[in-house]
Structure 1
Amino acid sequence: MNNLKRVIVDYKKLTPELLKLLVEKYPDGYGDNDVINFKNLKGERIEAVEVSTEDTKYLVKISSKLEQSMAKFDDDLVAEDMDEIPEEDFADSEEE
């Protein structure tokens, strides 16, 4: 597992697949213990969260936009799941 390719990625460049992996790994959001801090080549302090595929370890830079993207992606998944539930599975609140 140490032979994984390592990639730093900004939220703007996240693929839907990576966004899905992030939401699956951090379904309730990420916490302080999940954040990795490092300095880039320019000496800038970077905060990121990690997600891995079979061959690559991604460090996704943290920003408020990342949190919004994850929340929207998760909401969209829930909405898609709700679309798949047959209407008859919902109880009619007006029936007695």
Structure 2
Amino acid sequence: MNSKKRIIKDYDALAEETLDQIKLRYPRGFAQHLVKYTDRNGKLVSALPFECEDVYYLVRMTIREAEQIIEDDDDYDDDGTLRDDFGLDDEDDAAILDEASQNEEEEEEAERLKKDD
């Protein structure tokens, strides 16, 4: 069994490259993607899940922190959407952004369908 390393970290403690990958995965912000879990001390915590090639991250943040991060980040526009020119220095980044956008739209559609049932 090939299991990925699991890491729980604060957003500010992540490497810049990882932050860029997270932005590409969540081009419309983080708040709606947070998950809740109980930490080892029994405290309810919210975090943003993010999986890359060799690591599965839970990036600790509250809804308010998630909203504030996007508000303060110049890579996002006033509507909280990743700027079109972010990280598009090569075709790989453009493909990642297109795939992330498509995945997010599919997730939103699945949520709408769940609510309709």
Question: Normalised by the size of structure 2, how large is the TM-score?
Answer: 0.54
Instruction: Map residues 1-96 of structure 1 onto 2, 5 A cutoff.
Output: 3-32=3-32, 34-63=33-62, 64-70=64-70, 72=73, 74-75=75-76
Cα distance between partner residues in 2 of 1:13 and 1:73: 19
Query: What's the secondary structure of 1:74's corresponding residue?
Result: coil
How far apart are residue 26 of structure 1 and its match?
0.5
Cα distance between partner residues in 1 of 2:23 and 2:3: 25
Which ranges of structure 2 fall in alignment gaps of 5 or more residues? 77-81, 90-117
Which amino acid counterpart does residue 3 of structure 1 have in structure 2? S
> Sequence identity of aligned pairs in percent?
30
Q: Tell me if the contact between 2:31 and 2:67 (Cα under 8 Å) persists in the aligned partners.
A: no
Q: Which has the higher contact order (CA 8 A, sep 6+)?
A: 1
How far apart are residue 18 of structure 1 and its match?
1.4
Which ranges of structure 1 fall in alignment gaps of 5 or more residues? 85-96
Question: Normalised by the size of structure 1, how large is the TM-score?
Answer: 0.64
The root-mean-square deviation of aligned C-alpha atoms, in Å, is 2.7
Q: Give the total of aligned pairs.
A: 79
Question: Which structure features the higher share of strand residues?
Answer: 1
Structure with larger Rg: 1
